[in-house]
């Protein structure tokens, strides 16, 4: 089920900044059930739909919601500026980075966000990534405002060889760090996975026995 009460999810005082962006570019915003693979998405007009469509996960705290929504609005403005100039462009290339920084800057400079969020977003604006979780400082700052505090350890807290379970039930053994992600092997299949170091997990003393 999706709902459209997105305005109530924004931090106090930020609606006057976001609402004109939504209205100016004919965007519909809907809340989505939580998705593991993404926090939000954007679909441009097409196939009989005359407006842009944005969805944002409904379980995000206000600051994560704001960051994700502005991320997707930057896709809207980038599409509007480039659609008649180029056929294809990188979805998170220099044009999108420029638009996201332009849209985000007034929200950061407005003095309505907590100091730690302001500092993290100001640093993030210098070179925005495809996903906010790619930026360690920003992700940690946003996580402080989650309604339900999660005291489970992160992958980066574990030692090599540790066994852990992730939210979807898969069990892994940690091998080594590869930049922001860690090389892990699923116990059941032996397949290699790259798990983000900031992912919360359930440590296990030993792999579960097969029945």
Query: Percentage of residues in the chain with pLDDT exceeding 70?
Result: 94
Q: What distances in angstroms separate CA 81 from CA 18, 29, 161, one per listed residue? A: 19, 20, 49
Q: List b or e across 131-143, with b for residues whose CB sees 16 or more CB atoms inside 10 angstroms.
A: ebbbbeebbebbb
The pTM of the full predicted model, rounded to 2 decimals, is 0.77
Q: What's the confidence (pLDDT) of residue 5?
A: 86
H-helix segments, the chain:
15-24, 62-82, 94-109, 115-124, 136-143
Query: Percentage of residues in the chain with pLDDT exceeding 90?
Result: 61
pLDDT category at 42 given cuts 50, 70, 90 is very high
* Angle between helix 15-24 and 94-109 (nearest 10): 140
Going from N- to C-terminal start, the domains of the chain cover 6-143, 155-204
**With contact defined as beta carbons under 8 Å apart, do 24 and 106 qualify?**
no
The answer, yes or no, to whether residue 135 has pLDDT greater than 90, is no
The answer, yes or no, to whether residue 1 has pLDDT greater than 70, is no
Top CATH class of 155-204 equals: mainly beta
Q: What is the pLDDT of residues 168-195, one digit of tens each?
A: 788 999 999 987 789 999 999 999 998 8
Question: How many Å apart are CA 44 and CA 108, to the nearest integer?
Answer: 26
pLDDT category at 122 given cuts 50, 70, 90 is very high
pLDDT category at 2 given cuts 50, 70, 90 is very low
Distance of CA 144 to the CA centre of its chain: 15
Please identify which residue in the block is written with the tokens 């800057």. 105
């Amino acid at each position: 089920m999706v709902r459209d009460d997105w305005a109530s999810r924004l931090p106090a005082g930020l609606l006057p900044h976001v609402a004109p962006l939504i209205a100016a570019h004919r965007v519909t915003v809907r809340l989505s059930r939580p998705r593991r693979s993404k926090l939000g998405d954007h679909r441009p007009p097409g196939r009989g739909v005359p407006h842009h469509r944005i969805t944002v996960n409904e379980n995000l705290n206000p600051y994560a919601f704001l960051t994700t929504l502005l991320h997707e609005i930057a896709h809207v403005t980038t599409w509007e500026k480039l659609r008649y100039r180029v056929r294809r462009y990188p979805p998170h290339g220099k044009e999108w980075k420029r638009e996201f920084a332009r849209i985000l800057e007034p929200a950061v400079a407005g003095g309505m966000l907590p100091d730690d969020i302001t500092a993290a977003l100001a640093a993030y604006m210098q070179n925005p990534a495809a996903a906010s979780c790619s930026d360690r400082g920003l992700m940690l700052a946003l996580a402080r405002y989650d309604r339900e505090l999660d005291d489970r350890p992160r992958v980066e807290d574990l030692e090599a060889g540790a066994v852990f379970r992730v939210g979807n039930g898969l069990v892994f053994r940690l091998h080594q760090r590869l930049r922001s992600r860690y090389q892990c092997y699923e116990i059941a299949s032996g397949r290699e996975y790259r798990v983000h170091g900031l992912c919360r997990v359930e440590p296990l003393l030993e792999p579960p026995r097969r029945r």
